[in-house]
Structure 1
Amino acid sequence: MQTPTPTQTQTPTPGPAASGGGESPPRGPAVGPAQAVAPAQAAAPGAPDTGRRVAVIRGESTAEIPVHLLFRDDTGPGPVVHAADPRAPRPAAARPPQQAGPRSVVAAPARPATPVDPRIAERPGPAVPGGVAVAAGIIALAGCGAVTWWAGVLPRALTALLRLPAHPYHGIRLEQWGLLALGATVAVLAFGGLDRGHVGYAWVLSLFGDYRGSVRRTGLVWMSPLLLRRRVDLRLRHWRSEPMGAVDARGTALQVVVLVVWRIRDTARATLAVADHERYLREQVEAAMARVLSQLPADAFHEDAPTLRNAEAVGEALTRMLKEEAEPVGIELYAAQPTRIEYAPEVAAAMRRQRVAAIDAQHRDSVLTSVVDAVDDTVHRLTSRGLVELDAYERKALVKDLTVAFYTGRGAGEGV
């Protein structure tokens, strides 16, 4: 008898019970220690799992695949891999389509922001309190008067009135002309740049087309008279639009009136980044309103679904859109609420008839439901208390009579 070596294996032969009705596990020779760790041999069908992977195909090479690659959501083009590459990730299992819930008013996908010159941003402009400018102007005038008195240009009557000693006039020298010119220039600039600042207003200053800053001071303010000033209203304002045309999700023509509450936050952008910020806001309101109202129908006559009658949801979506559009031009928008959404005159009559028909059908359905409930309760009470004994035919007749009586009574009482 030949003893098997550690590098050989013997195939067990089935015994007599293998061909009969019952089966018994075949017995084979003992497996050596070298066979237990050989990666090229297949594990026995009934062998316990030892946690070690055993290759089935000779020469097989595998690689681990990161778990997160099996659940990636991106659908963009990935790296090109060959089918024979053992490192190629397996395609993820197809996900079941999610059931869409009831539609609601939502904002459209985000769009690229409106391009604005980054150099246009509000910053403090050159301005000083008006008292300083007044003092400087008075000092300049006093200096000019002193120069003229010293040169003997002042009349004797004025000199006597001011109780000043008189100086003989020998002409105005060149340095005196320079002092007079300097004083006059300072006085003109000091008094010419004075202005009054009011609460809720600001100035946008520019010089030769270049933005120099914004001034939000109140009271007496001095600004250089060489700068171009543009007055900007910073108060909280509201704008009520005229009836504007739009369509709903079903293509029905609508007339909408919107109330917008806004104010200017960045004076530089509101003045320099757009030609007319008020006109820009009006046009953006019309565009955003058309985008929001086209997502839902104005009315759902025969179904329970979101409609444009939910003024709060429509206002939130409209406000969110307008904030994104108004921010690049320095406008801070607080609220945009539709005050009236109605059908256009050409379809108003037809939609009114459809609405009345839907209300009438809903009313009849509620009346019929209440009648059926009342009939069921009456028949159940009569039979459960033993007041009447009814077979199938009599029960049907009673139900029919009670239904006609209750429905006729409800219709006469409610005017149906």
Structure 2
Amino acid sequence: MVEQKAWKINGFIGILVVFVLIGVTIYSFVLEQIVLGVILATITAILASGIRVVQPNEARAVIFFGNYIGSVRESGLWLIVPLSIDRKISLRVRNFNSKTLKVNDIDGNPIEIATVVVFRVVDSAKAVFDVDDYEEFVEIQSETALRHVATGYPYDTFDEEGYSLRGNSQEVADELCHELQDRLAIAGVEVMEARLTHLAYATEIASAMLQRQQATAILAARQKIVEGAVGMSQMAIEQLQQDGIVELDEERKVAMINNIMVAIISDRGAQPIINTGSLY
């Protein structure tokens, strides 16, 4: 099914014609021309059945004896094909908030995830005739697409390589939007945006994964501290030798580097030992 324009004329002209026919019909009955009056009354009723009011951001798919003959998108009062029926379709932008789903990521970890989908109908014929209920279709396909995308990524990456649900939310949202558009095109629906609204580890593994994240952060911080300590030790020895303050042999260099590394890397504050010399 492809949307097409339905035949229509200004509804006020149609109402004017209907009132004229009503007057002529009454006049025919007054003159006792019963047959003519019945014919005119029938024509008036048939013509009046084609008057429709279309609201802004609304479409009406017109069906004439089982055949789709077009849609009316322009708002206002219109006279369409008499004896036809129509299906009203909203063209407004709408949101769909999915339920919080429990799925497994690509590593098999159970996670909780939810999304919001911004969509609108762009083809009234597809929305009416190609699916039973396009709103229910959007709901089911959105959750199906979300499950499919979520199983293709890990929740988080600890080696800073590859995409993850937490670290690459924009890329995941773009893929989800494309996935939804492919699925909902059959229903005449345009997906304007899709975003994750909830993302978390499932309750049964949340504490363990939190400890893993904390350990990863501690290791990364330790690595930075060690790199800084090595640089500071090297700079201190070079400065001492350059200024000629003290002559350091290899053994004393090792001892100084050891003391500086311990003072910087240790979790606790360093306790200095002052050498005051011998009392005797």
TM-score by length of 1: 0.61
2:27 pairs, out of 133, 146, 152, with 146
8 Å contact from structure 2 (residues 145, 176) kept in 1: yes
Q: Does 1:366 align with 2:202?
A: no
Distance 2:140 2:269 in 1: 54
1:279 pairs, out of 121, 136, 145, with 136
Q: Secondary structure at the match of 2:192?
A: strand
Q: Secondary structure at the match of 2:31?
A: helix
Letter in 2 for 1:333: V
Q: Does 1:345 align with 2:226?
A: no
8 Å contact from structure 1 (residues 129, 221) kept in 2: yes
Could you tell me how far 1:340 is from its partner in structure 2? Answer: 2.2
1:11-410 mapped onto 2 (5 Å cutoff): 120-151=1-32, 176-224=33-81, 226-309=83-166, 310-408=168-266
Letter in 2 for 1:136: V
Could you tell me how far 1:143 is from its partner in structure 2? Answer: 0.8
Distance 2:146 2:114 in 1: 10
8 Å contact from structure 2 (residues 93, 118) kept in 1: yes
Could you tell me how far 1:199 is from its partner in structure 2? Answer: 0.4
8 Å contact from structure 1 (residues 189, 224) kept in 2: no
Q: Secondary structure at the match of 1:335?
A: strand
Q: Deviations over 1:317-346 (max 9, x none)?
A: 111121122222211111112122211122
Q: Secondary structure at the match of 1:299?
A: coil
Distance 1:325 1:412 in 2: 61
Letter in 2 for 1:351: M
Structure in which a larger fraction of residues adopt strand: 2
Q: Deviations over 1:126-175 (max 9, x none)?
A: 33221121111111111112223333xxxxxxxxxxxxxxxxxxxxxxxx
8 Å contact from structure 1 (residues 204, 215) kept in 2: yes
Structure 1 residue runs of 5 or longer lacking an equivalent are 1-119, 152-175
390 and 228 in structure 1: CA distance in 2 versus 1, 3 angstrom threshold = same
8 Å contact from structure 2 (residues 120, 191) kept in 1: yes
Distance 2:268 2:186 in 1: 61
8 Å contact from structure 1 (residues 136, 186) kept in 2: no
Letter in 1 for 2:70: G
Higher relative contact order (CA 8 A, sep 6+): 2
RMSD of equivalent CA atoms: 2.0
Distance 1:311 1:411 in 2: 39
What percent identity do the matched residue pairs reach?
26
Q: Deviations over 1:366-398 (max 9, x none)?
A: 222222221121112112222221111111111
Number of residue pairs matched? Answer: 269
8 Å contact from structure 2 (residues 116, 196) kept in 1: yes
Q: Secondary structure at the match of 1:292?
A: helix
Letter in 1 for 2:73: R
Could you tell me how far 1:411 is from its partner in structure 2? Answer: 5.0
Q: Deviations over 1:274-322 (max 9, x none)?
A: 1111222222222222222222211122444432221110011111121
Letter in 2 for 1:332: E
TM-score by length of 2: 0.89
271 and 412 in structure 1: CA distance in 2 versus 1, 3 angstrom threshold = farther
304 and 386 in structure 1: CA distance in 2 versus 1, 3 angstrom threshold = farther
8 Å contact from structure 1 (residues 302, 358) kept in 2: no
Distance 2:77 2:147 in 1: 47
Letter in 2 for 1:324: D
Letter in 1 for 2:110: A
Equivalent residue, structure 1, for 2:274: none
Distance 1:134 1:208 in 2: 23
318 and 356 in structure 1: CA distance in 2 versus 1, 3 angstrom threshold = same
Q: Deviations over 1:192-222 (max 9, x none)?
A: 4323211011111223432222111312122
Q: Secondary structure at the match of 1:313?
A: helix
Distance 1:261 1:403 in 2: 56
